Amino acid sequence: MAATPTTPPALTAPRRDNPLTRSLAGMIGFGALVVMMLACVGSLPWTLGPDPTTGVPRYRASNLDAHRLPPLWAPHDADERERLHIVATRRATAILARELGVEAEEAPSPTPEQVRAARPRFLLGSDALGRDLFVRVLAGGGVSLGIGVAAAGISVVIGTIYGMIAGYLGGRVDAVMMRIVDVLYGLPYILLVVLLAVAVDAVADARLTAAVERAQVGRVAYVERAMDAMPDVSREDPDAVARVQREAERAHPLPAESTRNIVNIVTLLVAIGGVSWLTMARVIRGQTMSLKNQPFTEAARAIGARTRRIFRRHLLPNLVGPIIVYATLTVPQAILQESFLSFLGIGVMPPMPSWGNLAADGLNELNTVKARWWLLLFPCLLLGATLLALNFVGEGLREALDPRRARR
């Protein structure tokens, strides 16, 4: 009896491993980070844009009658319900007066439905000035994330360049450069950041004050020259004097408020990015010392390649992995430092929001009589969630870029 041929079992192709999906925590952190960036940074044109009713930026739009109101979905006590009713009645009356073209005192009493429709609704509550906390948390998140990413970028650039130079040159140059890093490591890190921020802020304040004084002196001199050149009759004309003053203001403008905000942000970038590059420099130095002894680097030196070309074509491409990993770990550190400085009052200054100064404002609202918990909870909650997501992303990238952790 002939044996029946047996077909060999079909070989299944081995499942290809995607290094970017090795870490579940990294994927979750990346998704949460994308949502946070879209919500905070993507909404900056809206939160920093003008309010249609008042014309001021939305993050500054306030209603003192609606101050310290809890979130829309939270229970309200009798005092808060009464204040809400008063504010809603005033709004409904103003809307009726505007529609009828009469004064608010002459407008009829609004109906309960109109009062209910005009009731202010704050998703996350309002602060002490009646500003929407939801808008301020989004704007503060965009500011904190932007400053943190920019400061981390500065520290990565400084640390990468410093570490590559020290590791490639070696010898006495490396010894001197690393001793400088050791000295900076020995200083109290937070104290160094605070002192640098205070020093830079003091210099910026002095320059802004001098600019204001120069503008005021220039205005006075402009008005005096214009008045001396005018006939005696025109000097008594209020319209002519007002016109000269307006011309003096245009010729010698005062520094804008945005200038102060830009100075604060630049101060934070210098303070945080200027002292947080030490770990990056050590890591890049060690990697560079290993790479410069590799055959491809020695071959490039043997054929007479310039140092700049070796850095650009051979060293830097092989350092991309460590740079990305440590950059993702530097960003949460920079965000936390910015929030800490703003919490102390030497970072982002009000009315410009950040998670740090929002948390400081919320802490001042906690007392034994009436605790406005929402003013502290939501800035701290978003800050903690962002830092946790960034750490998850950093661990995921470290696992994805480390060949020893690859699953076989």
Q: What pLDDT digit, counting tens, does each position of 181-204 carry?
A: 988 888 787 787 778 777 877 887
Is 214 within a domain? no
CA 284 to chain CA centroid, Å, is 27
Is 245 within a domain? no
Query: Do 115 and 177 fall within a single domain?
Result: no
Separation CA 5–CA 12 (nearest Å): 21
Is 81 within a domain? yes
Mean pLDDT value across residues 86-108: 77
- Residue 388's pLDDT is 92
In the chain, the percentage of residues whose pLDDT exceeds 90 is 15
Q: The domain spanning residue 352 has which CATH number?
A: 1.10.3720.10
Exposure letters 67-102 (e unless 16+ CB within 10 A, then b) = bbbbbeeeeeeeeeeebbeebbbbbbbebbbeeeee
Minimum mean pLDDT range among 55-59, 66-70, 200-204: 200-204
Query: Do 174 and 276 fall within a single domain?
Result: yes
Residue range 161-170, pLDDT digits in tens: 999 999 988 8
Separation CA 165–CA 285 (nearest Å): 8
Query: Do 358 and 308 fall within a single domain?
Result: yes
Q: Domain end: 100, 128, 156, which one?
A: 128
pTM greater than 0.95 (yes/no): no
266 within 8 A of 154, measured Cβ to Cβ: no
Query: Do 362 and 390 fall within a single domain?
Result: yes
**4 pLDDT band (50/70/90 cuts)?**
low
Given a cut of 70, is residue 10 above it in pLDDT? Answer: no
Given a cut of 80, is residue 327 above it in pLDDT? Answer: yes
In 43-194, DSSP assigns E strands to: none
CB within 8 Å of 59: residues ≥ 6 apart: 47, 48, 131, 135, 136, 139, 351, 352, 353
Q: Domain end: 109, 128, 147, which one?
A: 128
Looking at the structure of the chain, the number of domains it has is 2
Separation CA 201–CA 231 (nearest Å): 47
56 within 8 A of 63, measured Cβ to Cβ: no
Query: Do 263 and 343 fall within a single domain?
Result: yes
- Residue 139's pLDDT is 92
Given a cut of 50, is residue 68 above it in pLDDT? Answer: yes
Is 22 within a domain? no
**70 pLDDT band (50/70/90 cuts)?**
confident
Query: Do 124 and 137 fall within a single domain?
Result: no
Bond into 75 cis (ω within 30): no
Query: Do 111 and 161 fall within a single domain?
Result: no
Is 9 within a domain? no
Q: What is the CA radius of gyration of the chain?
A: 31
Given a cut of 80, is residue 34 above it in pLDDT? Answer: yes
Between 126 and 402, residue with greater pLDDT: 126
Residue range 354-387, pLDDT digits in tens: 999 999 999 988 877 778 889 999 999 999 999 9
Residue range 207-218, pLDDT digits in tens: 888 888 888 888
Q: What is the DSSP letter of 57?
A: B
Query: Do 112 and 153 fall within a single domain?
Result: no
Query: Do 306 and 389 fall within a single domain?
Result: yes
Query: Do 119 and 264 fall within a single domain?
Result: no
- Residue 246's pLDDT is 83
- Residue 1's pLDDT is 47
- Residue 269's pLDDT is 85
- 235 to 34, 243, 250, 405: CA distances (angstroms): 63, 11, 20, 84
Is 317 within a domain? yes
Q: How is residue 107 written in tokens?
A: 């407008």
- Residue 134's pLDDT is 92
Residue range 230-253, pLDDT digits in tens: 766 566 667 777 787 888 888 878
Q: By C-alpha distance, which of 175, 147, 196, 163 is closest to 44?
A: 147
Which domain, by its residues, includes 81?
50-128
142 within 8 A of 47, measured Cβ to Cβ: yes
**141 pLDDT band (50/70/90 cuts)?**
very high
Separation CA 327–CA 273 (nearest Å): 12
Q: Domain end: 112, 128, 144, which one?
A: 128
Is 223 within a domain? no
Given a cut of 60, is residue 407 above it in pLDDT? Answer: no
Given a cut of 70, is residue 25 above it in pLDDT? Answer: yes
Is 280 within a domain? yes
Query: Do 356 and 277 fall within a single domain?
Result: yes
Query: Do 278 and 176 fall within a single domain?
Result: yes
Between 65 and 106, residue with greater pLDDT: 65
Helix 24-40 and helix 374-401: axis angle, to 10°?
130
**Is residue 398 within a helix (H) or strand (E), and if so which, with residue range?**
helix 374-401
